[in-house]
Structure 1
Amino acid sequence: MFRGGTPISLDNKGRLAVPAKYREGLMSFCAGRLVVTADPSRCLLVYPQPVWEPLEQKLNSLSSFNPQIRGLQRLLIGNACDVDMDGAGRILVPPLLRQFAGLSKDVVLVGQGAKFELWDEEKWNLQMDNALAFKDGIPAELDGFSL
């Protein structure tokens, strides 16, 4: 279970160091094999390979005759890249995906349960501002929900 946000810096080669608190678990769960892909929100998704594979199979099983489904398949599967953590716990974020998400040197790795989101820090801050604004009101699904 991944949770919380961690500010990270990409190095000159586009590598990021996976936070130490996740490294051991990722090594034991998936031998450090991850999949990075594009997200419609213009961030990147980072999955442990065993979590990604059933999602990829499910996406591939959907009808590609529906233009919306085909677009999502192109986005998610067409951009999926296998990456391996190196001995220092770093992964290389592929250049095309860095460009897609507009990643600068300063990024935020955000735990989202079984996956991470990788955001440019400025875009992440805008997402948080928007989440606090409730521009369209509170969704009906949150009626009666309390923290």
Structure 2
Amino acid sequence: MFRGTSAITLDSKNRITIPTKYREELFADCQGKMVCTVDIQHPCLLLYPLPEWEEIELKLCNLSSMNPQERLLQQVILGNASDCEMDKNGRLLINGPLRQHASLEKNVMLVGQLKKFEIWHDTAWQSQMLQGISKIQSGEIELTERLLDLSL
């Protein structure tokens, strides 16, 4: 399980380095094989260990290509999916279209989301967090029954 936020950098060869604390698990679970795609709701990327991605692919495969909304979702998510393999130093190459979607430059945030990571431009992540906290504190976010049952 991946949690927490790590400030990392995009190097001159357009690679990110996965923090050491995650590498052993990733090499054990998926031999460092991962898939990166766009997030359809935010200007960030989603990075999945291959076994997790394969579950997503099965769900996408079950959508109808005859339904325009479902086909669009398949096109965007699958069309942007890129296989990434971590090298022995924990580095992953992020391709141009993916970097462009998330406006990635040198300073990047890797955000653990239990079964996947999000990859954000650092200032976009900070803005997302400030907006999210503000919405929660102001009551703008409606607390559903599921959220009310969540005890932290």
- When residues 66 and 7 of structure 1 are mapped into structure 2, their CA distance, relative to the original with a 3 A threshold, is same
Unaligned 5+ residue runs, structure 1? none
Alignment match, 1:35: 35
Amino acid at match of 1:129: L
Residue 24 of structure 1 corresponds to which residue in structure 2?
24
**TM-fit CA distance, 1:99:** 0.6
Q: Distance in 2 between matches of 1:129 and 1:71?
A: 31
Given the two structures, how large is their TM-score scaled by the length of structure 2? 0.91
Query: Aligned partners of 1:116 and 1:137: how far apart in 2?
Result: 24
Identity among equivalent pairs (%)? 48
Distance 1:77 1:49 in 2: 14
Match of 1:120 in 2: 121
For 2:77, the equivalent position in structure 1 comes to 76
In 2, the alpha carbon distance for the partners of 1:30 and 1:116 equals 15
Normalising to structure 1: TM-score of the pair? Answer: 0.94
* CA-to-aligned-CA distance 1:51-85 (integer Å, 9 cap, x gap): 10121121011112222222211111111110111
The answer for the alignment partner of 2:66 in structure 1 is: 65
Query: Runs ≥4 in structure 1, deviation > 4 angstroms?
Result: none
How far apart are residue 144 of structure 1 and its match?
Answer: 5.1
Q: Tell me, in whole angstroms, the C-alpha distance in 2 between the residues paired with 1:29 and 1:88.
A: 17
Kept after mapping to 2: 8 A contact 1:42/1:100: yes
Please name the residue that 1:139 is paired with: 143
